[in-house]
Amino acid sequence: MRAKVTIPIQSDSAWRGTSDCLNCGVRESVLFADLTPQDFEQIHAPIDDLEYSPGTTLQSRGAAAASVMTLRAGSVKLVRGTIDGRQRIVRVLRVGDVIGQEALVGGCYENDAVALTNVKVCRIPLEVIHRLVESTPSMHQRLMQKWHQSLQDADDWLADLNFGNARQRLAGLIRKMRSSADPSVVTLFSREDMGAMLDLKLETVSRTLNAFVREGILEPLDKSGRLYRIANAQRLSDPE
């Protein structure tokens, strides 16, 4: 269904028009996966397709929330400041994840959501979610699945990436960021971002990543140091 009106957004260049949810190419992985055409008839507010470039803040911590977003392409980091003034990346969201779903119960965003790559999202007004949850059992079930997945991802992130030495932490991040299309290929982020994710200094990340390349664990596939092939998966699983 195409909405007839649009919601003003901060950047005119980000607006891509209203979303065609029924024909969405990643519909099976996002929030509206189980809705029927009849369910879509209940949507009376616009759902916008938006695109953002790397480094753009999509949502700000503490801001009053009017919508959530489903991630259709790219990846987004959730960032929170620490008491000593540092920025920590608490989780990375990927295709199919919901950005800002805590606003459904709290009314405001709990983290800064910042694009790590070029991203495409669908922005869904909270009133649409609330209406569908009340009237559509499948929507309620889907939302509960997303909540559970978010909690599991948060637990996995804490368990896998915040314990162990630098080699173990970096290896864990690399394994998490493997491509679903080709698990031997991984796209990484800037050294600064990886340091914030893993609570490591930039120099430590660079030194460890270079060691993985030198030891034949990783093979660079581009000049920017973002794309790699996992050349030795066994060594990556046990990087000691």
pLDDT digits (tens, 9 = 90+) for 169-189: 999 889 888 877 788 999 888
Mean of pLDDT over the chain: 77
pLDDT digits (tens, 9 = 90+) for 104-132: 788 889 899 999 888 999 888 888 777 77
Residue 16 has pLDDT above 50, yes or no: no
pLDDT digits (tens, 9 = 90+) for 131-177: 777 777 666 666 667 666 776 776 676 666 777 899 999 998 898 88
CATH 2.60.120.10 residue ranges of the chain are 12-160
What is the spatial distance between Cα 131 and Cα 187, in angstroms, rounded to a whole number?
A: 38
Residue 97 has pLDDT above 50, yes or no: yes
Question: Does the domain formed by 164-237 have CATH 1.10.10.10?
Answer: yes
Give the architecture-level CATH label for domain 12-160: Sandwich (2.60)
Q: Which of 95, 114, 100 is nearest to 53 (CA)?
A: 114
pLDDT confidence of residue 101: 85
CATH 1.10.10.10 residue ranges of the chain are 164-237
β-sheet with 87-93: strand ranges across: 57-59, 112-115, 76-81, 87-93
